[in-house]
Amino acid sequence: MVLLLLVELDPELAALRPLGGFFLLLTTSHDASYDISHTTGAGPDALPSLAQVYAGEASRVHPDPLDFRVRKVAEALGAPEGRVAASVAHLGLASRLWSVALGCAAVYGRVPDLDPRLLRWDPDAVAPYDLRLTDVRPRRPDPADADTVTDALIDAVPLAHLEPLAAALRARYRLAPGLLRGNAASALAGAARTLDRWAREHGRTDVADRARTLTADLFTHPLLAGTGTLSGTAFRRRSCCLYYRVPGAGVCGDCCFTRPPRSSPRAASG
C-alpha cells in the first residue's frame, strides 16, 4: 500500500500545466486566453456537457456533438468508414479523460469530481481547449492510500464516462465491446507512459512512482483486466482500434498486430 501526497485542488488545477496540453483541464477560473470556445465563437455555457453528449442531446452550438466529432475525425484522417473514425474519436476522448484524472492523482494525490454534468466539451476543438470543468472539487475527500485513489479513478473515468460513451457509440456504429475496452486500456497506458516520461525527465520520481502504482492497480480492475499485457509502462493490447484501416497508416505501438492484417477487419474488432 502506497501513501500518496495530498495537495489541495486549486481552482485552475495549475499543477497540471507543466505536464503539457493533453493533461491540462481548463476550469472556470482560467482567463479569456484559454477560451474553450475559440473555434465556435460561442461562450462555454453554449457548449454541451458530456452528460448531454452521452444522452444524444443537442446543444446551441452543435445539434449532434458526438456525430460532429466523428465526422471531423473521419475527414481529418480520410477514414474509409464511420466505425474507424468512431473508434479513433473514442480513443482520443478516453485519452484526455485518463490524462486529466491520472495526472491529478499523481501530482495532487486527489481525483477531481469529473461528473459528466460538470464537464463542457467542444467537439470542434483540440486539447487543451476541448474540455472545461465548471466546478473544481475532489471526488473523494482525503484519500489515504493508492487503493482509495484507484477506486476514485475507476469511478471518475470508466464508470462516469467511458461506459456511457461506449454505449452511445455502439448504438450508432459497429464497434465491438472488446475494441472499446481495449481503447480504454490503451488510453490509460498512453497517459501513464507520457506522465512517467515527464516525471523522470524533470526529477519527479515521486510522481512517476505514484503513476506506475496507480496504473498497475487500475489494470487489475474487472473493467480493464484482460485487455492486454502491461509491463512497466509498456502495453500490448489484445484488440485493435482499426486505425490500420486509415489510408497510409500502419499499426499503433500497442496493437495486437505487428503489421496491418490482410484479413477481414472484423477479426480485429473484438
Q: How do beta strands 26-27 and 228-231 pair?
A: unpaired
Q: What is the pLDDT of residue 198?
A: 96
Q: What is the pLDDT of residue 248?
A: 82
- Asked if residue 144 belongs to a domain, the reply is yes
Q: How many structural domains compose the chain? A: 1
Q: Collect all residues with Cβ–Cβ distance below 8 Å to 48 and sequence separation of at least 6.
A: 57, 58, 59, 61, 62, 65, 120, 121
Query: Given a cut of 70, is residue 121 above it in pLDDT?
Result: yes
Query: Given a cut of 50, is residue 269 above it in pLDDT?
Result: no
- Asked if residue 76 belongs to a domain, the reply is yes
- Asked if residue 5 belongs to a domain, the reply is no
Q: What is the pLDDT of residue 87?
A: 95
pLDDT interval class at 171 (50, 70, 90): very high
Report, in angstroms and rounded to the nearest whole number, the Rg of the chain calculated over CA atoms. Answer: 18
Q: What is the pLDDT of residue 79?
A: 92
Helix pair angle (163-170, 82-107), 10° resolution = 180
Query: Given a cut of 80, is residue 29 above it in pLDDT?
Result: no
State the chain's mean pLDDT as an integer: 88
Give the Cα separation of 218 and 250 in Å (integer): 28
Closest CA to 107 of 16, 225, 38, 188: 16
Report the percentage of the chain scoring pLDDT > 90. 69
Q: Collect all residues with Cβ–Cβ distance below 8 Å to 95 and sequence separation of at least 6.
A: 22, 187, 190, 191
214-248: pLDDT as tens digits? 999 999 999 999 999 999 999 999 998 887 888 88
Range of the domain at 240: 14-30+47-257
- Asked if residue 129 belongs to a domain, the reply is yes
- Asked if residue 156 belongs to a domain, the reply is yes
Query: Given a cut of 90, is residue 190 above it in pLDDT?
Result: yes
pTM exceeds 0.85: yes
Closest CA to 106 of 208, 184, 30: 208
Q: What is the pLDDT of residue 39?
A: 56
Q: What is the pLDDT of residue 200?
A: 95
- Asked if residue 200 belongs to a domain, the reply is yes
CA 112 to chain centre: 14
Q: Collect all residues with Cβ–Cβ distance below 8 Å to 53 and sequence separation of at least 6.
A: 65, 66, 116, 121, 123, 165, 168
2 vs 115, which has greater pLDDT?
115
- Asked if residue 190 belongs to a domain, the reply is yes
Q: What is the pLDDT of residue 226?
A: 95
Closest CA to 48 of 34, 32, 63, 33: 63
- Asked if residue 38 belongs to a domain, the reply is no
Is the separation of the CB atoms in 21 and 6 below 8 Å? no
117 vs 8, which has greater pLDDT?
117
Query: Given a cut of 80, is residue 45 above it in pLDDT?
Result: no
59-107: pLDDT as tens digits? 888 899 999 999 999 999 999 899 999 999 999 999 999 999 999 999 9
